[in-house]
Amino acid sequence: MMQSIFAIQKSGIGVPAVPMEEVVIAADLSWAGLILLLPLISLVLCGVCAAMRVKSKAPAMITAAALAGSFVTSVALYLNYVPPGDVIPLLDWMNLSWGESRFDAFSANFALYIDSLSLLWIMFVTGLGTLITIYASEYMEPDLGKGYARFFAGVSVFLFAMGCLVLSDNLLMLYLGWEGVGFASYWLIGYYYQRPSAVAAAKKAFIVNRIGDLGLALAVYLIWVTFGTVQYDELMSVLQANDWRPEFEGWSVTAIPFLLMLAAFGKSAQLPLYVWLPDAMEGPTPVSALIHAATMVTAGIYLVARTYPLFLMEPVSLQVVAWVGGLTALLAATIGMAQFDIKRIMAYSTVSQLGYMFLGLGVLTTYGAAYHVFTHAFFKAVLFLTCGAIMHGFAGQLDLRKLSGLRHMKGWRITAWTMLIGCLCLAGFPFTSGYFSKDAILAEAFVTQGPGFEILGWIAIVTAGLTAYYTFRVWFRVCAGPVAFEPGDELHDGDAHHGEFHPHAPRFAINGVLLVIAIGALLAAVPYFLDNQADEHLAGGWIADMVHDSTAREGLPAGHGDVDGAHHATILGMDPHAAMYYISGVVGLIGLSFAAWLHLWRRSDADALSRWMRQRIWIGWLPRAMERKWYVDEIYHGVVRAPLWILGHMCHAFDRFIIDGLLVDGTARLPRTLARWLQPLQSGVVQSIALAMAGGVAIILLAMALFMQFDWPGGAH
């Protein structure tokens, strides 16, 4: 599919020719509101459990049942789906009018916008949410009777907010869900509020996301004043008809996609706003798997895909999306290579894979981005959950240097082998789901014409090799090799018998969920091979079908030979889509081989290499910089945080000593001081009163004399 990102002009060209005016209001599907209602019911019941101090697993069972109901409802909605989609009204929210023009009214109801894109997202969000909740029922057992109900209440809030975000039929309801998932993230990251690190991480996530949220708020406002609506179906019709306010055609049409981009970069952890996500690992591991790997962090991808026609009207915005995504993927991969905390490595891997998704959106393959979102949700969820199982069983131990040989330990084989499946998919091992979804993005970087996109393609290929290396660095260190382990900092008295630590292996709930999600990660490759039903000229299988009837349609892959000039795009003299199968496979195997050599067969060589590099002045800075995350947090502290801290204390001092101390308190002290001077005159003694009267008369006479001597204008005296 040879496309030029410069060929899309600021006009109706490039806006998907989806017949949005055919979207119907379907009152008979009002039962779809259960997707949002069930998590709210779960929230209320979890609150009741907390109030009654329930010490059983009732909150987990309630939440899992509610989310399972939402998932079943989502699947039923998919089975009843008829293109191009439905608008399902739930309740009236905002309907304002102050004139006859479209620009003199504002409408944003609580309604569901059902198309193939929203169905794709809500099915894997509710499905994975249900499984992770079941996992959490066992993982959070130590908090029974304490924060157990609070945790599952937070999960319920998150699923409700995510449903609003994905299923909204207008941008204001999307904004409600957007803020809701941010609040739920803050709630759950700071779940262990006794830990200062967890509190700091929650505040950091909340504050950094506020930057992106401001961009989304401004974008929603500009979209309304420019196009006269915030509802998706009306917005698409206006774009197709080129019917918007002429005075806003220039600057606002340019500003809108960049503001939306800022929001997406904040929520989906891209440069320069990615720093909150690795620290968010301070929350419980089920939170990391559900919110910060599989669902919430993909909200930025969803936002760009949902508003894709607005990006097509300003081609430079897509170029920025592509470059930011590609550079974020590379930066996060280099940091992940040098970390030792396996959960934090997976966090940087998430940042890197999100960069791939933005790269896909930027090079006009919404299909590739959506497919990678789908596959990543499964294999990254299983990777986080296996890390959580290890942390749970080894008293909080997550240092890969202090764990080894899990696949040989009784009770840990399911954890080890499901982690292997996740690692294979993440590394893009041939014929796994990650292999097909990642290749769709890599190939399109060479096909789409854009400034430096071929360079971006090679950056992404190198990143794929780094990904394979750091992924299997974890697996070879933790699951392979000889059996050796040390407990973490959460060691309790009951974990040691006769002075020897014995890790407790996961039980049915954790192992069962790991198996189901690992199988899902493998089966996520199947949609690639399914025939396209929506359009016979498409390629890409079921995921392409799911993107077909949505606003992201422009980035769909055409079938072979359907686009003129496709043969002109080559990589190493071959068609990119065909060549990428071999290139990415070889690069991934090279990275895997290095990991096997250094972290399985010759671990001593890896340690010796690390010491040798650190002792050389010319290269010693590299491993230190990667381990310290390229000093980005330190730079932000010096450039942003510290100056604001100093400015805040200066403003506090000015307010305390100048405003309050001098102006307010000083003005109040003046009459008090004057009164104290005159107080002795009111002693009640006759002589003192007479003396005061005489002094007053003297002052009055003196004032009159001075007044008469003053030379008034006009000669008056």
Check whether residue 555 and residue 695 sit in a common domain.
Answer: no
> Are the beta carbons of 45 and 62 closer than 8 angstroms?
yes
Check whether residue 711 and residue 668 sit in a common domain.
Answer: no
Tell me the pairing of strands 403-404 and 484-485: antiparallel
Distance of alpha carbon 611 from the chain centroid:
36
Radius of gyration of the chain (CA): 32
Residue 75 pLDDT more than 80?
yes
C-alpha 430/C-alpha 418 separation (Å) is 17
Check whether residue 343 and residue 461 sit in a common domain.
Answer: yes
Within 13 Å of residue 580, how many CA atoms lie on the same side as its CB? 25
What number of residues does the chain have? 717
Report if residue 446 sits inside a domain: yes
Beta pairing partners, 484: 404
Report if residue 199 sits inside a domain: no
- 3-class SS shares of the chain: helix, strand, coil, % to 5: 70, 5, 20
| pLDDT confidence band for 565 (50 / 70 / 90) | very low
| pLDDT confidence band for 559 (50 / 70 / 90) | low
> Are the beta carbons of 67 and 130 closer than 8 angstroms?
yes
Check whether residue 703 and residue 650 sit in a common domain.
Answer: no
C-alpha 142/C-alpha 54 separation (Å) is 14
Within 13 Å of residue 701, how many CA atoms lie on the same side as its CB? 6
Lowest mean pLDDT among 156-165, 212-221, 234-243, 585-594: 234-243
Question: What is residue 11's predicted lDDT score, i.e. its pLDDT?
Answer: 38
Residue with tokens 């940091």: 335
Question: What is the average pLDDT across 626-654?
Answer: 91
Report if residue 509 sits inside a domain: yes
C-alpha 233/C-alpha 19 separation (Å) is 9
What DSSP designation does 431 have? Answer: T
Check whether residue 643 and residue 673 sit in a common domain.
Answer: yes
373 vs 535, higher pLDDT: 373
Report if residue 454 sits inside a domain: yes
Structural domain of 715: 686-717
Report if residue 130 sits inside a domain: no
CA dihedral 117, 119, 123, 129 (to 10 degrees): 80
C-alpha 113/C-alpha 23 separation (Å) is 9
Beta pairing partners, 485: 403
> Are the beta carbons of 322 and 312 closer than 8 angstroms?
no
Beta pairing partners, 341: 399
> Are the beta carbons of 28 and 88 closer than 8 angstroms?
no
> Are the beta carbons of 480 and 405 closer than 8 angstroms?
yes
Beta pairing partners, 399: 341
**C-alpha closest to that of 356 among 268, 291, 480:** 268
End-to-end CA distance of the chain: 98
Check whether residue 644 and residue 619 sit in a common domain.
Answer: no
Report if residue 81 sits inside a domain: no
Check whether residue 658 and residue 691 sit in a common domain.
Answer: no
> Are the beta carbons of 285 and 642 closer than 8 angstroms?
no
Domain closes at, from 627, 660, 694: 627
> Are the beta carbons of 208 and 214 closer than 8 angstroms?
no
E strands in 498-576: 500-501
> Are the beta carbons of 489 and 390 closer than 8 angstroms?
no
C-alpha 103/C-alpha 60 separation (Å) is 47
Buried b or exposed e, range 91-116, using 16+ CB within 10 angstroms: eeeeeeeeeeeeeeeebbbbbbbbbb
Question: What is residue 712's predicted lDDT score, i.e. its pLDDT?
Answer: 58
Task: Provide the token pair at 210.
Answer: 């506020």
Question: What is the average pLDDT across 625-639?
Answer: 90
C-alpha 12/C-alpha 14 separation (Å) is 6
What is the enclosing helix (H) or strand (E) of 181?
helix 171-189
What DSSP designation does 231 have? Answer: B
Question: What is the average pLDDT across 367-372?
Answer: 93
Question: What is residue 8's predicted lDDT score, i.e. its pLDDT?
Answer: 44
Question: What is residue 200's predicted lDDT score, i.e. its pLDDT?
Answer: 93
Check whether residue 511 and residue 427 sit in a common domain.
Answer: yes
Q: What's the burial of 53, exposed, middle or buried (CB within 10 Å: 0-12/13-18/19+)?
A: exposed
Residue 563 pLDDT more than 60?
no
Check whether residue 465 and residue 334 sit in a common domain.
Answer: yes
Question: What is residue 3's predicted lDDT score, i.e. its pLDDT?
Answer: 53
| pLDDT confidence band for 134 (50 / 70 / 90) | very high
Residue 10 pLDDT more than 50?
no
519 vs 622, higher pLDDT: 519
Task: Provide the token pair at 325.
Answer: 């995504």
Tell me the pairing of strands 24-25 and 86-97: parallel
Task: Provide the token pair at 629.
Answer: 């995350």
What residues have CB less than 8 Å from 80, skipping those under 6 apart?
A: 29
Question: What is the average pLDDT across 135-143?
Answer: 91
Report if residue 661 sits inside a domain: yes
DSSP three-state, residue 10: coil
DSSP 578-608: HHHHHHHHHHHHHHHHHHHIIIII-HHHHHH
Check whether residue 690 and residue 648 sit in a common domain.
Answer: no
Whether residue 272 has a cis bond before it, omega within 30° of 0: yes
Tens of pLDDT, residues 273-315: 999 999 999 999 999 998 887 788 999 999 999 999 999 988 8
> Are the beta carbons of 509 and 517 closer than 8 angstroms?
no
Whether residue 84 has a cis bond before it, omega within 30° of 0: yes
> Are the beta carbons of 480 and 600 closer than 8 angstroms?
yes
C-alpha 112/C-alpha 36 separation (Å) is 10
Check whether residue 477 and residue 537 sit in a common domain.
Answer: yes
Question: What is residue 702's predicted lDDT score, i.e. its pLDDT?
Answer: 86
Write out 260-291 in H/E/C secondary structure: HHHHHHHHCCCCCCCCHHHHHHHCCHHHHHHH
Check whether residue 503 and residue 590 sit in a common domain.
Answer: yes
| pLDDT confidence band for 558 (50 / 70 / 90) | low
C-alpha 447/C-alpha 566 separation (Å) is 8
What residues have CB less than 8 Å from 434, skipping those under 6 apart?
A: 372, 375, 376, 379, 424, 425, 426, 427, 428
CA-based torsion, 138, 188, 293, 341: positive or negative: negative
| pLDDT confidence band for 437 (50 / 70 / 90) | very high
What is the enclosing helix (H) or strand (E) of 706?
helix 686-709
**C-alpha closest to that of 89 among 156, 158, 170, 20:** 170
DSSP three-state, residue 694: helix
Report if residue 472 sits inside a domain: yes
Average pLDDT value over all residues in the chain: 86
Question: What is residue 414's predicted lDDT score, i.e. its pLDDT?
Answer: 95
What is the enclosing helix (H) or strand (E) of 474?
helix 453-478
Tens of pLDDT, residues 454-495: 999 999 999 999 999 999 999 999 999 899 998 888 776 556
Tens of pLDDT, residues 107-126: 888 999 999 999 999 999 99
> Are the beta carbons of 431 and 521 closer than 8 angstroms?
no
Q: What's the burial of 662, exposed, middle or buried (CB within 10 Å: 0-12/13-18/19+)?
A: exposed
| pLDDT confidence band for 568 (50 / 70 / 90) | low
Maximum mean pLDDT: which of 534-538, 610-614, 695-699: 695-699
616 vs 186, higher pLDDT: 186
CA dihedral 351, 353, 357, 363 (to 10 degrees): 100
DSSP three-state, residue 646: helix
How many independent structural domains does the chain possess? 3
